[in-house]
C-alpha cells in the first residue's frame, strides 16, 4: 500500500468520531473521495457518498465510519465527569484509559478512574468493574471549571495512537469500522481507473454501532440492485478463540465471505467464483440469523437488495488496540473491484 493511501488511512483512524458524531471522520473521507469520484455528497443522517456514474445496475458499497465511544451524562461538584457507553464496550477495557472528549472549544484530555484495587475488600476485588462505578478526571477542581470545557452530552473516544507492527499489521482504535469505510472508497478508486458498467456508490455510513440508522437511510437513498457491506469480523487465530463456533479466520488469510440469511446466495456464489479466478485468498463465515453489520438492514430496503458481507479479520475488537493485516485490506479491495466489474444486468441475482 503506497504512502499516500497509508497517510489517508491514518488520518481516518485518528479522527475522533463515535456513533452519532461522525462528522470529523466523514469530512476526511469525503475530501479524499473528491480526488477521483464523479460526485460526492452527504445527507441528513451524516452518511457520505462517492459516486461513479455508469449505465448498468446500481451498486452500493457500504462501510460504517462510526466507532464506539463515551458520552458525558453528569458532572459532580468536584468536576468529575460520569459517562455512558456509546456502543458495546467491555467495561474492563476502559479502566485507566485516557480519553479525548469533543469539548466546547476543542478536544479535552481526561483519564478514566475507579476505586483503586488497594482499597477494595473481600469479594469486591473479584467483581468485574462497571461503567457506573467509573468517572472521567480532566484535572479540574469544580463543576464550574469542568463545564467550561465539557458539557453534558459531549462525546469522546479512547486516546490511543496508531502503531505499525511486523508483517504488515497495524493496531488502532476505530478499525471497527473505519477500515470498512476505507475499503469501499479504495475499491471505488480502483474502479475509477478501470470503469465498470455499473453505477457505483461508495457510502461511509453512520450509527452502525448503535442503531443501523445510517445504512437504513443510505440504502433507501441509493436504491441499489446489489450491495456489499464491508466490516470487520473476529479473527480466531489467537489463544482462547473458538474455531468451531466462529470459523477458521486468520490475519493475513484474506477477506472473509459471509453466508447467511441476510446475504444473497447468488452474490455469495459469484464472489467465490471471482476470488478463485483472481487468486484472491479468502476465509468463510456463517451468519444463519443475522450478520451484525449494515447488511442486516440493507438487504431489506425497499423491494429488497441482493447483499453480500465481506469482512476484514480483526483481533481485539472493541478495544483501543484492534489489530488487522493490511494484506487483507488489499485483497478485499481487489475482490470487490473485480466483483463490481462482473455486473451486467439489474436482475442477475433474482433467484429462479
Catalytic one among 32, 208, 209, 330?
208
Q: Is 169 helix (H, G, I), strand (E, B) or coil?
A: strand
Residue 214, all three cell numbers: 445510517
Distance CA 67, CA 86 (A): 8
Any idea which residue has 454501532 for its cell? 209
Per-residue buried b or exposed e for 78-116, using 16+ beta carbons within 10 Å of the residue's own CB: ebbbbbebbbebebebbeebebbbbbeeeebebebebee
Instruction: Please list the alpha-helical segments (H only) found in the chain.
Output: 3-14, 23-33, 91-94, 143-147, 175-193, 213-222, 243-246, 265-277, 295-298, 326-341
Any catalytic annotation for residue 208?
A: yes
Report, as residue numbers or ranges, the catalytic residues. 208
Amino acid at each position: 500500500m503506497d504512502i499516500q493511501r497509508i497517510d489517508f488511512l491514518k488520518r481516518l483512524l485518528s479522527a475522533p468520531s463515535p456513533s452519532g458524531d461522525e462528522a470529523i471522520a466523514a469530512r476526511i473521507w469525503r475530501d479524499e473521495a473528491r480526488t477521483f469520484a464523479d460526485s460526492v455528497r452527504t445527507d441528513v443522517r451524516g452518511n457520505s457518498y462517492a459516486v461513479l456514474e455508469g449505465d448498468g445496475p446500481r451498486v452500493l458499497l457500504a462501510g460504517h465510519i462510526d466507532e464506539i465511544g463515551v458520552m458525558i451524562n453528569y458532572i459532580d461538584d468536584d468536576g468529575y465527569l460520569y459517562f455512558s457507553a456509546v456502543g458495546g464496550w467491555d467495561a474492563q477495557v476502559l479502566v485507566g484509559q485516557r480519553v479525548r472528549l469533543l469539548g466546547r472549544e476543542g478536544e479535552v484530555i481526561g483519564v478514566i478512574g475507579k476505586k483503586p484495587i488497594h482499597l477494595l475488600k473481600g469479594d469486591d476485588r473479584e467483581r468485574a468493574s462497571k461503567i457506573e462505578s467509573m468517572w472521567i478526571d480532566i484535572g479540574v477542581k469544580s463543576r464550574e471549571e469542568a463545564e467550561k470545557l465539557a458539557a453534558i452530552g459531549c462525546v469522546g473516544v479512547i486516546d490511543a495512537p496508531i502503531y505499525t507492527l511486523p508483517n504488515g499489521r497495524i493496531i488502532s482504535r476505530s478499525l471497527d469500522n473505519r477500515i470498512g469505510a476505507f475499503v469501499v472508497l479504495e475499491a471505488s478508486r480502483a474502479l475509477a481507473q478501470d470503469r465498470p458498467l455499473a453505477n457505483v456508490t461508495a457510502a461511509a455510513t453512520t450509527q452502525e454501532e448503535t442503531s443501523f440508522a445510517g445504512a437504513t437511510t443510505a440504502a433507501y437513498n441509493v436504491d441499489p440492485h446489489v450491495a456489499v457491506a464491508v466490516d470487520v469480523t473476529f479473527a480466531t487465530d489467537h489463544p482462547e478463540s473458538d474455531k468451531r463456533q466462529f470459523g477458521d479466520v486468520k490475519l493475513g488469510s484474506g477477506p472473509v465471505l459471509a453466508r447467511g440469511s441476510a446475504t444473497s446466495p447468488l452474490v455469495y456464489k459469484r464472489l467465490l467464483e471471482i476470488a478463485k479466478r483472481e487468486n484472491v485468498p479468502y476465509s468463510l463465515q456463517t451468519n444463519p440469523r443475522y450478520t451484525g453489520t449494515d447488511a442486516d438492514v440493507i438487504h431489506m430496503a425497499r423491494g429488497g437488495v441482493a447483499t453480500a458481507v465481506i469482512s476484514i479479520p480483526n483481533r481485539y475488537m472493541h478495544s483501543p488496540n484492534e489489530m488487522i493485516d493490511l494484506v487483507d485490506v488489499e485483497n478485499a479491495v481487489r475482490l470487490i473491484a473485480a466483483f463490481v466489474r462482473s455486473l451486467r444486468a439489474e436482475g442477475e441475482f433474482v433467484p429462479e
